Amino acid sequence: MNSTALNMQTAIETLPKSELHLHIEGSLEPELALELADRNGITLPYRDLDDLRKQYRFTNLQSFLDLYYELMGVLKTSDDFRDLALAYFGKVSAQGVRHAEIFFDPQVHVANGLDVNIVMDGLLEGMKDAKARYGITSGLILSIVRDMPIDTAQSVLDSVRHRTDDILGIGLDSAEVGYPPHLFARQFQEAKTLGWHCVAHAGEEGPAAYVIDALDTLHAERIDHGIHSVTDAMLLKRLASERIPLTTCPLSNRRLQVVNSLEELPLRNMMEQGVLINVNSDDPAYFGGYIADNYKALAGIGFTLSELTIMAENSINASFINAVRRDALLKELASWKSRFAALLKA
């Protein structure tokens, strides 16, 4: 690797950034999954680590979700969730992440027989430890699993009302087609009354109309994925004028066959039209890379360091942090720009 490539790699890994689209259960690496299964006396239907790794070949979103939900079953105790969170933060602490807003799927854990407080207590402990160890601030986004019965979403929402200060926002995830955002308008409205922020997966496998639906009926402040917005010129203008960020996930889109190649992603097109694009890892244990790997993948198809820096700055500005923390991160980014000024001009 030549010096320019090494400098680019260092620049990307040290680039101060926020991660805004991360499913914490999707950071469950196969090694940790087997360790937790053994810890909790659970038998998985795989011979060994290599056999489990072979399952990570997905043809679409549903084929991924099948394995994703199966492995979530090894998470049983608060310690498990703490260890899961700390494993994630430990990895991204070396990839420039300064702030993370992480999704979790309480409906699935409740269906697996857990009390939602076990889940939250473990995650919050891991987040607290990560701040002390790595200086990474973070927040929890409770995600509604859209292809589970809506009454289970309402039940979970009701069960955490006493912990509203522990939750940053509400989200909407899982299998998209056939589950338009407006089905969950009641839950999002209730979340807003609790003071939570609102985000929603839309326009990943679903059409641009789902993005419009999420904006109009859920009042989403960010759209997760959203790449099919590119098919609607008026929607692109709206996203740009209303400054609605898209939390895109390049390696995820490629691994799930949303696009046939990274070159097909319309990220530059949307950026040129003023859409606030940022880059995230989605479910990094399943999709072949954490956040810096996604940045490096874009660099590999021709995105300049200047363009990647804009995405990182977008991620800081799109986060739900307070003004003091935002100013501190933007100041750190300015210092980073000075350090890599020559590479930014290249």
Which amino acid type is present at position 268? R
Q: Which two tokens stand for residue 309?
A: 């820096």
Is residue 201 annotated as involved in ligand binding? Answer: yes
- From the list 121, 119, 125, 126, the residue with the least C-alpha distance to 85 is 126
Which amino acid type is present at position 55? Q
Residue 252's φ and ψ, nearest 5 degrees, are -60, -50
Q: What is the DSSP string of 86-97?
A: HHHHHHHTTTTE
Is residue 109 annotated as involved in ligand binding? Answer: no
In this structure, how many other beta carbons lie within 10 angstroms of the beta carbon of residue 7?
15
Q: How far, in Å, CA of 181 to CA of 167, rounded?
A: 21
Is residue 197 annotated as involved in ligand binding? Answer: no
Identify the H or E element spanning 140: strand 137-145
Q: What is the distance of C-alpha 284 from the center of its chain?
A: 9
Is residue 158 annotated as involved in ligand binding? Answer: no
- Using a 10 angstrom Cβ sphere, with 0-12 exposed, 13-18 middle and 19 or more buried, the burial of residue 16 is buried
- Three-class DSSP category at 210: helix
Is residue 283 annotated as involved in ligand binding? Answer: yes
Which amino acid type is present at position 176? E
| Bridge partner list, 140 | 102
Q: How far, in Å, CA of 346 to CA of 317, rounded?
A: 25
User: Which residues are catalytic, by number?
Assistant: 204
Q: Are 110 and 157 in contact (CB under 8 A)?
A: no
Residue set of the binding site for Zn(2+): 21, 23, 201, 282
Residue set of the binding site: 21, 23, 201, 282-283
Residue set of the binding site for substrate: 283
